[in-house]
Structure 1
Amino acid sequence: MLQVAFIRENKEIVLEGLAKRNLANAEELVSKTIAADEERRSIQTELDSVLAESNKLSKDIGQLFKTGKREEAEVLKQKTVELKETSKVLGEKLQDKANELQELLYLIPNIPNKIVPGGNSEEDNVTIFEEGTVPTLHEGALPHWELAKKYDIIDFELGNKITGAGFPVYKGKGAKLQRALINYFLDKNTEAGYNEVQVPHLVNEASGIATGQLPDKEGQMYHDAQDDLYLIPTGEVPVTNIYRDVIVKESEFPICNTAYTPCFRREAGSYGAHVRGLNRLHQFDKVEIVRIEHPTKSYEALDGMVEHVKGILQELKMPYRILRLCGGDIGFTSALTYDFEMFSTAQDRWLEISSVSNFENFQANRLKLRFKNAEGKSELAHTLNGSSLALPRVLAGLLENCQTPEGIKIPDVLIPYCGFNIIN
């Protein structure tokens, strides 16, 4: 969430940034926010004046009683009763206006970094790096959903029977390979200095608001109405919320965590061949990395996270590319996002497997996540997160790119984790 003082003092910068996002009602939204803030501050000033007058009269009443001027004191007492009623009305007006301002602030996305390219959709994202050789597959090579059926390693129909579309069942070597990838990703992250945590898979509304999933993506989240809890759409939500309402020490930076979680997304309206098999699921596994950083170090940290994910893909020997997302495709809370895509030879297209983002202080403002700087003043921290990695499309690309007439050959780095070198 943007700070209202920043919006008020930098209106043109905010509008310029929101224009890069193609936010149609940006000017109206920003103007309403500034107006609501001005009204809130005006009511606060009036309330402060009333409370100050009431406090002064209370002292005067005491003095009058001491000097025997009872009648004058009684007159002032009546005045304080009126002032108390006025302050109550003003307090209610102030709370209503503060709530209105908060709701408006929830609707304003983060301001993109200066290097975020303009654009309307994923077609306008910019490729900044590409590595790896796209394999030449044998005649009769199959997409991963056909390979899953051929080798009986993932059962989409069984998952559909148990739950519904988008909830596959992993079997035999498919389940072992899935577990191997999770353990491999976690090991790579902990070796890089990330602290492994296990977190709840359901969160309350406050947690969803704090990281920006609510109210922006409410329709995409599974919600248990009885307990008012949400199934997590990503491990970012519970891991980042560890630091909600926390003041950290400057000496604690960087704070680095990693977690494996299942993720749950309704993905309403997602149909067609491009979401077939593992390409788009309602439940999937992901290993996440989350960093809490000093504001002066967050972009250096973002570059380090990008290099970390690159290192994993280099070890897997998968062809991949890195995109800098444009203003029209960047997430609501992000200031700068890099997407990693793996090339699927059997599908002849790129599959998104990771996003690495810097939110600057946007989430921290909602989280009330601060640190004490060298002068002892409270300052908002910066938050970052990345997929390291999301499993479904990594697994899809791995199955398709590593297939041979003899079977699916396992990348060397994963063999110690899964205990076999081929699926056949």
Structure 2
Amino acid sequence: MASPKITVIGLGYLGATHAAAMAELGFEVLGLDVVPEKMRKLEQGQAPMFEPGLEELLRAHVAGVEGSTGRLRFTDSWEELGAFGDVHFLCVNTPQKHGEFACDMSYVERAVDSLAPHLHGPALVVGKSTVPVGSAERLATRIAELAPAGQEAELAWNPEFLRESFAVKDTLHPDRIVVGVGGPRGEALLREVYAQPVAEGTPFLVTDFPTAELVKTAANSFLATKISFINAMAEVCEAAGGDVVKLAEAIGHDDRIGHKFLRAGIGFGGGCLPKDIRAFMARAGELGASEALTFLREVDSINMRRRAQMVELARDALGGVLLGKRIAVLGATFKPDSDDVRDSPALNVAGQLHLQGAQVTVYDPKGMENARAVFPTLGYADSALDAAHGADVVLHLTEWPEFKELDPAALGDVVASRHLLDGRNTLDSALWRKSGWLFRALGRPTA
């Protein structure tokens, strides 16, 4: 029996990685995106964003690239997509609505409406995007109505759990596979698609639609809560003179708590956690369960407060005056090993400082182009040393490995004042202080 043919709709972080990984697992894959520039890059085996390992995977499989398997192709034709695929993965964006907490489902709905009329035979449409609970049931009905195949065009929900900068590993070797299905055929097809990781020991969990939809938002809400918890403890440590790093180490030894996501700093950002917890709150309100998630409002509030706290620390370091002061910002992306600046705490802090009159110069190893697109009025440098030249204070806001390797003495030679604020609690305070730097980190003693 021939392996199912796979299509991937939406070729951003999730879709491009999923398409390349499916080809790596041996499937014939056809991808579609509505952004022509993104498609042109992919057709040349180039990743449209920085994600470690993704470009190598694309070059190994994109048709037309020398030495590739040719298992991965791209099209802009919905008709070709419908005729080609047995399993169609929906990987389109679900952003936050403008002016609301709720999720914008328009991209998902448009993709379903474009694909379904071209499903003339048995097909499985698999949602991977993060959507409000209740969406799958509605979309399944819509597909059955629009598809010439009728009830033979089924829906399943298979939430993604990718971590940016680990997306390739998380797709090929996931820690769990969750599938919400409406019947045995959908489960059987997805077991075939994921046969290799399941054989390696990855748990395969079969649920109903609502549970599958809730898994991703519940997981992200828990992680966001854990991050905001330790940042709340940092606020208490600052008031009491405690050390949040030692506190986190101590409580992390309790295996019920663990050490992960317990590093205090300027908080979380990116394209998932902030918008997912807000959409979760909005959906709970629509379902009449808003009280169940009121704690997420405080989680969100604590997170945003850390950015404001970093701005105030910079102001204090500069004697209460930001106007005209030179500030170097190390980091623009929301996390290292990514070029993603969506809702980046680092870029948000840099922007706030600039808007309050400071002369801000930013350096990031991978995120400069995207940062310029969001904040073109900030200054940008080609290296950490260039960014720090003449700075009155240096802010460490994204924990790139190269920033841990900086020479405090060399950086001290180019700044106007040896004053460093560590917004990520990853730098060696003793090393910097030994080189004559005034060093301050969130939630830690000043000396």
Query: What TM-score, normalized by structure 2, do the two folds share?
Result: 0.25
Query: What TM-score, normalized by structure 1, do the two folds share?
Result: 0.26
Structure showing the higher strand proportion among its residues: 1
